[in-house]
Each structure stands twice: as structure tokens, then as C-alpha cells.
Amino acid sequence: MTQFEPVIGMEVHVELATESKIFCGCSTRFGQEPNTQTCPICLGMPGVLPVVNRKAVEFTIRTALALNCLINERTWFDRKNYYYPDLPKNYQISQNYACLGVNGWIEIPVGDSVKRVRINNVHLEEDAGKLVHTELPGADYSLVDLNRAGTPLIEIVSEPDMASAEEALAYMVTLKNLLEYIEVSDCKMQEGRLRFEVNISLREAGSSKLGTKVEIKNLNSMKTALKCIEYEMKRQSEILASGGRVVQETRLWDEATGETRAMRSKEFAHDYRYFPDPDLVEIHIPPSWQEEVRQNLPELQDAKRRRYIEELGLPEYDARVLTASKKTATYYEKAVAAYHNPKAISNWMMTEVLRELREREMDADELPLKPEGLAAIVRMIDEGKISGKIGKEVFQKALESGEAPEAIVQREGLIQVSDTGEVERWVDEAISENPDMAEKIRAGNEKTIQALVGQVMKKSRGKANPKLVNELIRQKLTN
């Protein structure tokens, strides 16, 4: 049977973290009342004139540089003409003939090695509005919210250089991390700040001839993009294996059925009738401006990792894990700023915090326990106020309720008991209830001491100071 391999390219849309829109002064804040962040410009009224947001251009230069692109020193906007109800002007201001950045690349991890994925171009455009499909029974209309219309958007177009679903995932993860590091977007996928489009074709394994590709639009998470790639690999290989022909078309992902379905055929390429927007002037980006942007890049992953090793004394491994995502690194730095024990906090990050983030499929900035709360737990342990075990309980409770760890410890009476009299009572009880253990310890069996400490800890519901328990047992049973 013929073996097929996928050829995958991606277009990634990123909403930029500017405060105002790309061609007007309206706010870009997410989640506001529909149509409250609009003006004649982003509503597409006749006769208005757009003025470009300098910050949006700078963020695009920053992204293009980080993706090793060449910058077009003369660039401009083009009108992409099409009709859709969320686009009142009937054209989108985008770039087609002279994209801001071209011919770049990014390296992604593949197994133990890295692979270079070429970037065809990075260009700047405006986002469209959003259609709201009402779910009222019997409703036969949709509503339109134009708050998002005119939000600056960059599109990053890769070459079809990915050869498996795993490589596509590595590309998405690496790109998201990079965008967060250079601070051009918060990349919140659930708010639509980062969106994916996949194009995929199959070819006979080993062949260099490309097959017919299919595009899948509007994928709002990496998970969906992956499911979609896997589905298309199966669908297309079944068509090809049975001697059929893949139709070049745009498809949509249907979350309910877990399938893609045809949206529109691309047999005849769409003609958007691009032409330079006469309302906007050309943008000149001399080398001096590029240099200025390069100088102002925030601290990137490698530099941060070195700093963690040199200034915070972390092992290489910790530094690598903590800097893998900027949001994780920021969480860590805030915790260390609140309480300076870099290694202990790193240990908590690498175990408890990262596990929670994985399970909850969250970024660190969304965790209900704030970095200051984590710092408080580590401090209370260091001060002997609570045991490490209680610390983990408090961590879980703080995650559930969002309450401050100190308050939980107070309310639930979890403070570690270091009062000798009280701990001694628990030790005496444990000895009299476990005479065989006591006997073994008297006979010199070191291991049994730990077992008896365990009994005392259980009695005290984890509150006895384990160091003190250990001392008391030795005093009483050994000489």
C-alpha cells in the first residue's frame, strides 16, 4: 500500500497588545458591551480617514526581526476586497504587495534536534468584527459586534515545512512563546488573540511532488488545530488510497462532529482585487528604526535563563524549565520578589505549579493562586510555621478558593506545633499504642524511628514539628 506523508503550512493571526486600534483611537479592551468601542473610522463610515498606529507598526517590526525576516524599508497597506457582514467597509486594510517582513525562519524542537521552518512573510492588517449567532429558539438572525473591528492583527505565514502533527504543535508552541517573550501580544487563545489556519496536503512518502492542499480556517486552540490535522491526514489518505482526487478548498472544523467540512471551493483562486490603499501613506522603515526596535527588545529566553543561573543560583535544568514560557517565568520572578528563596520557590514551580497548569490547561497568569501566595507558603515552611506536607494542603485549598494561604492556615489551625509539652503527649501516646515499634527502636532499628514519627504526625494531623518529634523519640527510646 502507498504510504503518504503530510505537508503542513500555517497562517497564524495574532492580535497585538496595543491600547488603541490600528487606524483610530478606540480601545482594544476585550469583553466590553457590544459596539461600545467604535467610531466612524472603525465602523467604516464614508469620508473618514484612517491614521496608522505607530505602536502597531513597531510591534510588527519587532515580530519580523524576532522571526529573522528581512524588513521591507518601504511598505504600505493594500485593500483586500470582499463582502462579509462583520466588515462594514467591504474591504479589509491589509498588506499584499510589500509585506513588512519577508523571508524569515524560526527553529522548532524536533526530537533531540531542531528544525528550521521558513517564514514566507509577516504582515500587518486590521481585524474584522464578530458575528454573534443567537441561540434563542426560532431566532433567524445574527448580531454583529464591531468592538473588535480595527484591532491590529499580524499574520505570520509559514512555508509548508512541517511534516507531522507533532512538528505543527512544536511550531505553534515555539511561536506562542516567542510572541509572549517579545511582548507584542498576550496570546490569550480563549479571547481569540491567537488563531490558527492550517493548510495541509499529502504526498507519496519520499516524493518531492506536492499534492493538492486544503485550508482549514478559524482554529482557536492548538488542540483543535491538531485534531484537525489528524482528521485531514486520515480523510485525504483514504481518498488517495482509493484512487480519488483531493479537491482544493477551504474547510471548517466542526467541534461537535470532530470533522472538517467544505466551506468554499478554491478551484478558482479567490480574487480579492488587492490595490494600494489611497487613504494611507507609505511607511518608511530605515535601518536606524530597525536598530532602535532591536535595542528595545525585552529580555529574551536565553538571556533570562543565563540570569537565573548567574544571579539566582539556579541549576541549568531549573532555569531551562522555568523560562520555557514567559508567563511561567514572570510568575516565578514575582514570587521570588515577594520572598527571596529562589531555589525553594523553583522546586514548588517545577512540581506543584507546573502540574496544576498542565491539568488545568492554563497559563501561569491565570492560576487562582497568585505568585505572592506561593511565596507566602514557602516562607511559612521556612519559618517552621507549617510543615511541607501542610504546605501542599494549603496550596490545594488556596487554588480551590483563591483565599490567601496565611488566612487558610490561621482559620484551620494548621500552624505547626513546636511546643515540647504538647508534642511530647502525642509521642507518649504513640509509643504506648505501638509497643512493638518501640521495642525495635530500643533494639537499635533506625528505620523504625521514621515509622513511629509517621504515627505521631498522623496523631497530630500533620501539625507536630517533625524535627522535634524525631528528637523526642530518640531521647525516650535510644541512648
Residues in contact with Zn ion by CB under 5 A are 24, 26, 39, 41-42
Cβ closest to Zn ion, residue 146 vs residue 225: 146
Three-state SS string over 383-451 comes to CCCCCHHHHHHHHHHHHHHCCCHHHHHHHCCCCCECCHHHHHHHHHHHHHHCHHHHHHHHCCCHHHHHH
Measured from the CB atom, is 149 or 179 closer to Zn ion?
149
Alpha carbons 354 and 363: distance in angstroms, whole number: 9
Q: In the structure grid, which three cell numbers stand for residue 277, read together?
A: 490603499
Complex with Zn ion: residue 42 or 408, whichever CB lies closer: 42
User: How far apart, in Å, are the Cα atoms of 242 and each of 204, 209, 245?
Assistant: 14, 19, 9
Q: How far is the CB of 164 from Zn ion (least distance, A)?
A: 43
DSSP 164-225: SHHHHHHHHHHHHHHHHHTTS----GGGTSEEEEEEEEEEETT--S----EEEEEE-SHHHH
In the bound state with Zn ion, the residue whose beta carbon lies nearer, of 39 and 350, is 39
Single-letter code of the amino acid located at 146: L
Q: Which is nearer to Zn ion, 48 or 309 (CB)?
A: 48
Q: Which is nearer to Zn ion, 24 or 423 (CB)?
A: 24
Furthest CA-CA distance within the chain:
96
Nearer to Zn ion, 30 or 274 (CB): 30
- The phi, psi pair for 159, rounded to 5°, reads -80, 160
Count Cβ atoms within 10 A of the Cβ of residue 454 and give its class: 0-12 exposed, 13-18 middle, 19 or more buried. middle
Q: How far is the CB of 43 from Zn ion (least distance, A)?
A: 7
In the complex with Zn ion, which residue's Cβ is closer, 24 or 117?
24
Number of residues in the chain: 479
- The nearest distance, CB 26 to Zn ion, in angstroms, is 3
State the residue for C-alpha cell 479589509: 92
Asked whether the CA dihedral 187, 190, 195, 197 is positive or negative, the reply is positive
* Beta carbons within 8 Å of 112's beta carbon, 6+ residues apart: none
Query: Shortest gap between Cβ of 387 and Zn ion (angstroms)?
Result: 56
End-to-end CA distance of the chain: 78
- CA atoms of 342 and 332, how far apart (whole Å): 9
> DSSP readout, 54-109?
HHHHHHHHHHHHHTTPEEPSEE--EEEE---TT-TTSEEEE--SS-SEEEEEEEEE
Which C-beta is closer to Zn ion: that of 53 or that of 460? 53
* Distances in whole angstroms, Cα of residue 66 to Cα of each of 94, 169, 197: 21, 19, 21
Strand partners, 144: 131
Q: What grid cell was written down for 105?
A: 525562519
- Of 45 and 132, which has the nearer Cβ to Zn ion? 45
The one-letter code for the residue type at 111 is G
Select 41 or 187, whichever has its Cβ closest to Zn ion. Answer: 41
Minimum CB–partner distance for residue 51 and Zn ion (Å): 11
Taking the least distance from each CB to Zn ion, the nearer of 42 and 293 is 42
Q: State in angstroms the smallest separation of the CB of 37 from Zn ion.
A: 7
Distance in Å, CB of 124 to Zn ion, minimum:
17
CB of 90: closest distance to Zn ion in angstroms? 17
> Minimum Å distance from CB 150 to Zn ion?
6
Between 24 and 390, CB nearer to Zn ion: 24
464: which 3 cell numbers?
A: 507536630
Nearest to 15 by CA among 63, 83, 79, 73: 63
> Smallest gap, in angstroms, from Cβ of residue 23 to Zn ion?
8
Task: Give the nearest distance from C-beta 278 to Zn ion in angstroms.
Answer: 20
Determine the 3-state secondary structure of 252 from DSSP. Answer: strand
Question: Could you give the CA distance from residue 256 to residue 145 in angstroms, rounded to a whole number?
Answer: 25
C-alpha cell at 112: 533531540
State in angstroms the smallest separation of the CB of 27 from Zn ion.
9
Q: In the numeric block, which cell numbers belong to residue 199?
A: 493548510
361: burial class by Cβ within 10 Å (0-12, 13-18, 19+)?
exposed
Least separation in angstroms between residue 38's CB and Zn ion is 5
